[in-house]
Each structure stands twice: as C-alpha cells, then as structure tokens.
Amino acid sequence: MARNCSHAIDAGVYLLGDLPDAEVEAFVRHLDGCPACRVEIEELAPVVRLLIASRSRLGGS
C-alpha cells in the first residue's frame, strides 16, 4: 500500500469506478508523477477484478 502519498486512498476508488467524475482527471494526472500511486494501482487491480467478477457471479450490478 502506498502510504507515502495522500492520494493513495483514491486508487481503489478509481479502480472501482466510484471516483467522482470531477476527480478522475485530476487523479489520472497525479498518477503521471506519482510512482507510489502507480504501484498501488498495479497491486490493487487484480483484487478489484476479482471483486467485480464475484459480484457479477452473484448477480450483483
């Protein structure tokens, strides 16, 4: 977990597609200059994919 960046919490929210539209562009720009958040995205992406797949199999939206 990228604990050395205050934006790291946004990584999971971004991957889940729940980051408000107004914040997505700013977060994507932030990723360009923040290796810690890019690592956070890389580490969380497989987990988020599993969560989404599980939700789909259980009949969730």
Q: Provide CB contacts within 8 A for 40, sequence distance 6+.
A: 1, 2, 5, 8, 11
Whole-model pTM: value is: 0.77
**2-54: per-residue pLDDT in tens?**
568 999 899 999 999 999 999 999 999 999 999 999 999 999 999 999 988 88
pLDDT of residue 13: 94
Query: How far does CA 4 lie from the centroid of its chain?
Result: 16
Among 52, 53, 2, smallest CA distance to 11 is for: 2
Going from N- to C-terminal start, the domains of the chain cover: 9-57
Contact assessment for residue 12 and residue 48, using Cβ atoms and an 8 Å cutoff: yes
